[in-house]
Amino acid sequence: MNPDQPGDEDVTAAELALGVLDGEERAVALRRLVADPAFAREVERWRAHFDVLFAQWPEQEAPAHVGYRIARSIAPRSRSSRYWPAAAGALALIAASLLLVVVLRPVAAPQLIQPSAPLVASLDPAAAGPALPAIYDPARGELRIPAGFASPAGRSAELWMIGTDGVPRSLGVLASATRTVIAIAPADRAKFTAGLKLAISSEPVGGSPTGAPTGPILAGGELISS
Amino acid sequence: MSAQSLSGEASAARAALTQALIATGEQDRSAFQQVYELTSAKLFGICIRICGDRQAAEDVLHEVYLIVWKRAGGYEPGRASPITWLATIARNRAIDWRRSPGNRASLPLGEAPDVADDAPSAIDGLLERQANGALHLCLDDLDANQGDAIRSAFFGGLTYAELAARKVVPLGTMKSWVRRGLLRLKECLDES
């Protein structure tokens, strides 16, 4: 091994854990994280190595007003009063945009209320076992997965969408005992078309702490028109 | 990464934080307050160093504790120390903030911190120490450029491109420093 030619040895796992990759290099590494369990374990090992550096991080007293703000934002009563004006504003905007559509495009308006057909995916398990259905309902912007997916003991099953760029994005952790209903963010709904890949990975309870899959893929499949 | 290497006092403090975090997962507001008091200085230190902007760091800190409030139920005591779990969330959120469009104006403080070694705080006592030895020895063993770049990447949340811009070296040079450093780090950690 020649240390002057670092390309000869692969340190991608360490680079991903350290966070130095960006753009296409990061996307390639994230794809590999999904596809290669040994690589995923290597990334996890590097993360644990780097974690010890947190002890060196200098502390800085947070200003008191931030503490108050945070405490207020989790208090149930103030929460509704804080969110209500925003919700009312959003509703007014939606109403205004509907009105515009009706005024400008009267013929197209009925499409707004006509629900499109659901898309389905069969999530085939990596190990033996039954496939798990996932149903995307465009009318409600909801992805539904029935109860019954057995995640490994002491772990959570996290669902990912993998778009055309191949980069996994979390959709949330599957409920263990009940069916899972995931509200898809309006900005993401356009991506829920035939061919979108979905995958379930094994993660620490509560989901990946990093925003990318850290454990092996348990099941996967593609959306198709039903 | 067990608690065995911790002193009795640190071990008790860690148990108290773990308890508070678990209770936070059960939506206990006073436990959440306790988690905030014990950890906010560490987490704010992380946010401000990576964001490089006080106002942004305050907003990211707010977001981090809302995530903690929602996700503490998923904290798994056996896998990570509570402060490592919290610090990871803060670092990732701060990096997300800085990498989102429009937030690149200020460059983060990427230098490796040089003050914390002398005066470890109470919360630092909760961070694992025994693995610390190996990583620090191995990092200290690297060429100055390599070790410095790796520390800057971690503490500043910097990518290769950002590291190269900071140190005013070509991108290829920076990648080569970091990759060589990581390779040697790997060998060194495998040995210890």
Q: CB distance from B179 to chain A under 8 Å?
A: yes
Structural element, H or E, at residue A225 = strand A217-225
> Distance between CA A136 and CA A183 in Å, rounded?
10
Q: What is the mean pLDDT of residues A59-75?
A: 88
Average pLDDT, chain A: 77
- Confidence check: pLDDT of B20 > 80: yes
Mutation for testing the A interface, residue in B29, B36, B65 having most A CBs under 10 Å: B65
How many residues are listed for chain B in this entry? Answer: 192
Specify the pLDDT at position A6: 42
Q: Is the pLDDT of residue B18 over 90?
A: yes
Q: Which amino acid is at A160?
A: W
pLDDT band at B123 (very low <50, low <70, confident <90, very high): low
Predicted pLDDT of residue A115: 45
In three-state secondary structure terms, B5 is helix
Q: What is the pLDDT of residue A31?
A: 93
Q: Which of A19, A63, A209 sits opposite B89 (nearest CB)?
A: A209
Q: Which of residues B95 and A177 earns the better pLDDT score?
A: B95
pLDDT digits (tens, 9 = 90+) for A193-213: 888 999 999 888 888 888 888
pLDDT of B115 reads 41
CB atoms within 10 A of CB A113: 7
pLDDT (0 to 100) of residue B72: 92
Q: What's the pTM?
A: 0.60
Q: Provide the pLDDT for residue A126.
A: 80
Give B 89-148 residues with CB within 8 A of chain A: 89, 91-92, 95-96, 99, 112-113, 115-117, 120-121, 123-124, 127-129, 131-132, 135-136
A91-100, A163-172, B133-142: which has the minimum mean pLDDT?
A91-100
For residue A124 the two structure tokens come to: 């085939």
ipTM of this complex prediction, to 2 decimal places: 0.81
Residue A195 Cα, gap to closest chain B Cα (Å): 27
**How far apart are alpha carbons B165 and B175 in whole angstroms?**
12
Q: Which is more confident, B21 or A223?
A: B21
Q: What is the mean pLDDT of residues B79-83?
A: 85
